[in-house]
Amino acid sequence: MLGRSIWAVLNSYHAALREKGFFPDEIFLFSEGKNDEKLSKDISTTISGLKILSEEFKISPLIRAEVISERECKVASEDDFVRMSLCTRDLIKGRKKEGDVIAVDITPGKKTLVAGTLLPITLSDVDHIFYLSIKETMARPYMMIPYQVQQMNDFKEQVVRAMHGS
């Protein structure tokens, strides 16, 4: 999810690769808003960064970008939030049904995009919910942020572990 910070996307992706050993075959980069020149530039820059990090880990996932408010959906609601929620739900559930491993990274997403993605799904719909927590926001590459101020989380893993009492 592309929110206000390209660094948040790149750093959380780097942490998922390095700390969690998660190597995707495909990345859907979601953003919300009007597809204007600034957003197009941010998406392009983010995709370039994702490609550089992927190459560093010797993988080459297919990268797709979706501007949620512009996405075509077969939803009978004119409300952008509801339409966005149902579109991301359909994508996640459809890909899971195909047998894909699904990871959602909520680190960089705007609250409406994160809520809209998580509200209509269940724990069984995703394999990972990643969140890179950093005590102090820093517009720097992952490797230049001290490890003691950051923590890579997999919220699904934590919830499942808590539910099973371990």
The whole-model pTM stands at 0.87
What does each of the 166 residues of the chain score in pLDDT, given as a tens digit? 888 889 999 999 999 999 999 999 999 998 877 778 998 999 999 999 999 999 999 999 999 998 876 555 565 555 677 877 888 898 899 999 999 999 999 998 888 888 889 999 999 999 999 999 888 777 777 877 877 888 899 999 999 999 987 6
E strand spans, the chain? 26-31, 62-67, 103-105, 128-134, 150-154
Please tell me the CATH code under which domain 6-163 is placed: 3.40.50
Distance CA 2, CA 105 (A): 10
| 8 A C-beta contact, residue 46 and residue 6 | yes
